[in-house]
Structure 1
């Protein structure tokens, strides 16, 4: 049976590809999409999410707008990577669906509470503000969610700071809530996503599909490649967020270890660091997992096949 997931996102070029993967992969049933401030303002990322829905033909899934501010910190966006719109590069189509009237936090809660226990997997691929507030507003969802599979953090390197990753550092207090809530959390961090590179062979495989969604993805990667090379020195761009979706679809693509993870909230140089304890063995009650390896060829094969199916 397909795994039912709700994606919480801030599109974002890699978020857009993650949404297309989720809709096109037969191992996934996308049951909801919520937006959160991050790569750009909440208004921009929500507009982008609806544009991706139009491109991918995602018409039967509720989309809801969420938090426009982190819990306590000022907004910090990633315009240098994603552009002024948050999804620069392709021409964005007009939305074909209306936003759900509910706030994203309420859509998350309603979806989990209306489903059987263990049925819904939350896949946050932006900042964790919505997920944290949902867990605080309705604590019963913690026991009902199957797991949280998030793109964020790193156990070795950072991208927004020497040891901090963007999705965590923009709202570290929310990350602390999510990582300590008492549900299973799997961290798909930069250590792995920096190996999920959109290399020339990958780009050629996407172009060969020659469909509207594939052309859209290719245009996204054109812009994303240029900013990642300019800002972070990548010859081919790392495409982070689809890794979290792919892990739900096929965990065998990845190497996963049970490890304690703590969020640094006060460090002068380490704010937002996901401090991962590799001292063996992990405690028996450890509910956090980190991804330490990826079969990049199988990952991209899954993305390309999903784009072909759309």
Structure 2
């Protein structure tokens, strides 16, 4: 499966990238970065460092948009000042890839449309890059097989406001543009990702497996741990972004339902909320599949196995 990964590394983005790059079922054509968890210059450098750690220097990493289409700049809360647990991975020795993230997305997707071989686009951060690409070249929709996004919150409530999830809130207008573009969208919202809980026992299992990067991955996950048993049901923190890649690899681990999803852009208390019409109340056609069930043991078996393989 040919994929593009648009992300804002970030600890859980880093784990998702390592999963994708360790999986022979996936051909990662490029990694495009966007401001989100940390500023654009840091997400770009973090992306380069993760790709180098994975031993995949041939995969280009590109720097993208530095802020949202509209509104204030938001930053992540859980990945540390540098974005990777407060400690930096070794620098990448690969040449800096030319081209802005938006230009790279457009080039790949137009080529895919021309070849009749659509690409899956995976988004792990704010959707600014993809929204700008759609605005500049609407024809890229023909080059996308689907968009799989870690984005949104429904019954679970938000993680940055009572109703909004960070990736959507950080650029709500971009998220609404992507949802309206006509390409099939699969959402991995907080309702799903809160089930991907990296408990202390699971992290200890990873650390005990050995391998080139498992100890570092375990350290990053431990730093990233939100440890809010009142919300998650037990100790540990959810690994949001790797669910997107795992869905591509093992869709049978996931369950979901179709809905029409829109983003609230005007509410004083609900700005950035993803509103799902699951029962046809509005009469609007479904534009997304909302994932809401996860086989957590199966997910962690897959993730730990691939990280050990890295």
* Pairwise same-fold verdict (TM > 0.5): yes
**Residue 162 of structure 1 corresponds to which residue in structure 2?**
162
1:191-270 aligned at under 5 Å gives the runs: 191-225=191-225, 228-229=226-227, 235-270=235-270
Structure 2 residue aligned with 1:28, among 26, 29, 35? 26
**Residue 173 of structure 2 corresponds to which residue in structure 1?**
173
Deviation at 1:232, TM superposition (A): 8.7
Does the 8 A contact of 2:228 with 2:236 survive in 1?
A: no
Distance 2:150 2:107 in 1: 23
Deviation at 1:199, TM superposition (A): 1.4
What is the CA deviation profile of residues 282-310 of structure 1, one whole-angstrom value per residue up to 9, with x for unaligned ones?
Answer: 96942311001111111111111111221
**Residue 7 of structure 2 corresponds to which residue in structure 1?**
9
What value does the CA root-mean-square deviation take over the aligned residues?
Answer: 1.9
**Residue 38 of structure 2 corresponds to which residue in structure 1?**
40
* TM-score in terms of structure 1 length: 0.93
Unmatched 5+ stretches in structure 2:
none
**Residue 130 of structure 1 corresponds to which residue in structure 2?**
129
Deviation at 1:208, TM superposition (A): 2.3
Does the 8 A contact of 2:260 with 2:285 survive in 1?
A: no
What is the aligned length?
305
**Residue 85 of structure 1 corresponds to which residue in structure 2?**
82
Deviation at 1:18, TM superposition (A): 0.2
Question: 3-state SS of the aligned residue for 1:107?
Answer: helix
Question: 3-state SS of the aligned residue for 1:260?
Answer: strand
1:143-158 aligned at under 5 Å gives the runs: 143-156=142-155, 157-158=157-158
Does the 8 A contact of 2:51 with 2:59 survive in 1?
A: no
**Compared with structure 1, are the counterparts of its residues 293 and 118 closer, same or farther at alpha carbon in structure 2 (3 Å cutoff)?**
farther
Question: 3-state SS of the aligned residue for 2:68?
Answer: coil
* TM-score in terms of structure 2 length: 0.93
**Compared with structure 1, are the counterparts of its residues 167 and 232 closer, same or farther at alpha carbon in structure 2 (3 Å cutoff)?**
farther
Deviation at 1:148, TM superposition (A): 0.2
Deviates more, 1:88-97 or 1:7-16: 88-97
1:58 and 2:47 correspond: no
Does the 8 A contact of 2:169 with 2:272 survive in 1?
A: yes
